[in-house]
Chain A
Amino acid sequence: MKISSKVTYGIISIVDIVLNSKNKVCNLKEISKRQNISLKYLEQIFCTLKRKKIVKSIKGAQGGYVLLKNPEEITLFMLFNILSNECSLENRAEEISGSIKDIFEKKYLFEMQKVLDDYTKNITIYEIVNSFYNS
């Protein structure tokens, strides 16, 4: 039941961009230094974020990344789905066959998954940035 480091680092770097970019292009080297995350790993994470249209890359010497969405539009639920390699329980349910015990298993697993999903759907990057300013 652990959240992968790809997800946690993804959240940290997007919060970092909002806090530090001041509407300019943000380069991964700086994020890497500030957040102590390897540049290679960040490149992987941002490649996925770019594909899913959360960020856009700007090429060139002064290049880097900018956010394509407002911080209040980016929910943790979104980032979980984009960055976690496992498929969610909902998708996995398709693999489980239709016997009674499997239907039953789905039922309580869903209950747990739903609690977490409801929670992460309600938290946005904007809120994390706010709580950072308030701390």
Chain B
Amino acid sequence: MRISTKGRYGLRAIIDLAIHSTKEHVSLKHIAERQNISEAYLEQMFASMRKAGLVKSIKGPQGGYYIGEKLENITVGQVLRVLEGDMNVIDQDTMIQKEEKSIEYCIQKNVWEQMNMCLNETVDRITLEKLVSDYKKLLGGFPDMYYI
């Protein structure tokens, strides 16, 4: 089981945006350069994130994006759900029609539904604010390495 590239790149891009758009909006070109992600791919992902209200855009040649919400209100779960669809370990539609006496139904109730809950709780607990501050700490911590 793994998170798709779209989810990983999207999360990386929105963290980059959060760090760099504190004063003004940021163009996708700059995010593309810093994060080494193609601009066309970023455009796709930002269109979905804009629709969901996670980022806002300013049009025109000097345009770009900025974060649409307070960082503490955006969770990793929201971002991943916008980019990847639901965060369930088994597709919801294959989960519905099951005979109640079947092994499959029993596993669905006792395992998959619990795993979905676990996973969703985890990603909803991590906010962008937390990730940005972790990232800054990590950046701040690195120069020390030169003194060893």
Tally of contact residues, B, Cβ under 8 A: 39
Cα distance, A42 to B26, chains bound together (Å): 52
Q: Closest residue of chain A to B142, judged by CB? A: A100
5 closest residue pairs by CB, A with B: A132-B106, A115-B122, A131-B110, A3-B89, A15-B103
Q: With A3-B89, A89-B2, A109-B8 given, is the CB distance from A132 to B115 under 8 Å?
A: no
Which of these, A1, A104, A127, A132, contacts B138 with CB under 8 Å? A104
Cα distance, A132 to B114, chains bound together (Å): 16
**Would you give 28 A-B contacts (Cβ < 8 Å), ordered by A?**
A1-B80, A1-B87, A1-B88, A2-B89, A2-B90, A3-B90, A3-B112, A8-B107, A11-B107, A11-B111, A15-B103, A15-B107, A16-B103, A35-B103, A76-B111, A100-B138, A100-B139, A104-B131, A104-B134, A104-B138, A105-B12, A109-B3, A112-B3, A112-B119, A115-B119, A115-B122, A128-B106, A131-B110
The distance from the CB of A109 to the nearest CB of chain B, in whole angstroms, is: 6
Interface members, chain B 57-105 (any A CB < 8 Å)? 76, 80, 84, 87-91, 100-101, 103-104
Contact B103 A119 (CB under 8 A): no
Q: Give chain B's interface residues, CB within 8 Å of chain A.
A: 1-4, 8, 11-12, 35, 76, 80, 84, 87-91, 100-101, 103-104, 106-107, 109-112, 114-115, 118-119, 122-123, 126, 131, 134-135, 138-139, 142
Q: With A105-B12, A108-B126 given, is the CB distance from A12 to B119 under 8 Å?
A: no
Write out the residue numbers on chain A whose beta carbons fall within 8 Å of the beta carbon of B134.
Answer: 104, 107
Residues of A in contact with B, size category: 35 or more
Among B1, B90, B123, B139, the most chain A Cβ lie within 10 Å of the Cβ of B1
Q: With A1-B3, A100-B142 given, is the CB distance from A108 to B106 under 8 Å?
A: no
Please tell me if A80 contacts chain B, counting CB pairs below 8 Å.
yes
Q: With A1-B84, A2-B89, A109-B8 given, is the CB distance from A92 to B2 under 8 Å?
A: yes
Cα distance, A119 to B118, chains bound together (Å): 8
